[in-house]
Structure 1
Amino acid sequence: MELKLEVVVLPVSDVDRAKAFYEGLGWRHDADFSTERGLRVVQLTPPGSPASIIFGEHLTDAAPGSVRGLHLIVTDLAAARAELIERGADVSEIWHDEDGVFHWAGTAHRVSGPHPEHDSYASFASFADPDGNEWVLQQVVNRLPGR
């Protein structure tokens, strides 16, 4: 059986502001529709991604900005960071974790700069949407077997 992740729901407080933010980053606008019951769904897809995000009105009861650690995989972290900054995102400096393992909570283990020994899976940058939903850029040049 195949299980393919295709959509992640993001909780946002202002649908049009979120839509403008993600479109400004260059994400493909897939859908924006409303139903007679007041449901509004906006779907956007990051460039090159098979998975999309959706947000809207009456779509989730999660607190706006409560999503953390969504990973966007890039082959050139510095270039991706620069492009996102050009497009209006407030992207952190590049960092790695002191022990080479991504720590999901907090910034206590972060060391400034790319990881000195590894090209893949060890260097990161991060940014948030206007509500505070967190995205992590992770550089992967050579994938591990089976990935």
Structure 2
Amino acid sequence: MDMRLEVVVLPVSDVDRAKEFYEKRMGFRLDADVEAGEGYRVVQLTPPGSGCSVIFGAGLTTAEPGSAQGLQLVVSDIGAARDELAGRGVKVSEVFHDATGVFHHAGDAGRVAGPAPERASYGSFVSFSDPEGNEWFVQEVTTRLPGR
């Protein structure tokens, strides 16, 4: 049975501020903005080229606003992605790789400035947070692992 990740729920306190950030700053496509009763609102946006969307709103989660960590976007050129995000006004880190060469540590531990040695696929990252503090990483993938 195939299982595909379709939606990630983000905990936010200011729905309109989050909507503006993801739509205007990040360039995500607005799929829906529905108020379905008092205290219940669903906003869905999809990153360009992604089959998975983010949803946030009112009455969707009891998670603390800004508590999502390690959300991951994938791009083919980390430098170009960083430049585009910065150009859109997103406060984004410099390109880094992890000291282990495996994956990134939580927060900013283990960061080494610059892209992964030999620009190894899956090895280079930038990070940013949305206005609520939800933490995102952007990872460069140039060659997929077998079966991906």
Give the TM-score band, short-chain normalised.
over 0.9
Aligned residue number for residue 13 of structure 1? 13
Residues 62-98 of structure 1 show CA distances to partners (whole Å, capped at 9, x for unaligned) of: 0011001111000000001111111121000000011
State the TM-score, normalized to the length of structure 2.
Answer: 0.95
Q: Percent identity?
A: 64
Tell me the C-alpha RMSD between the 2 structures. 1.0
Aligned pair count reads 147
State the TM-score, normalized to the length of structure 1.
Answer: 0.96
Structure 1 residue 107 corresponds to structure 2 residue 108: yes
Correspondence list, 1:13-92, <5 A: 13-24=13-24, 25-92=26-93
Residues 18-59 of structure 1 show CA distances to partners (whole Å, capped at 9, x for unaligned) of: 000001121100000011243100000000000000000011
Unaligned runs of 5+ in 1: none
Unaligned runs of 5+ in 2: none
- The 8 Å contact of residues 97 and 104 in structure 2, kept in 1 or not, is answered as no
CA distance in 1, matches of 2:81, 2:107: 23
- The 8 Å contact of residues 69 and 104 in structure 1, kept in 2 or not, is answered as no
- The 8 Å contact of residues 30 and 46 in structure 2, kept in 1 or not, is answered as yes
- The 8 Å contact of residues 125 and 137 in structure 2, kept in 1 or not, is answered as yes
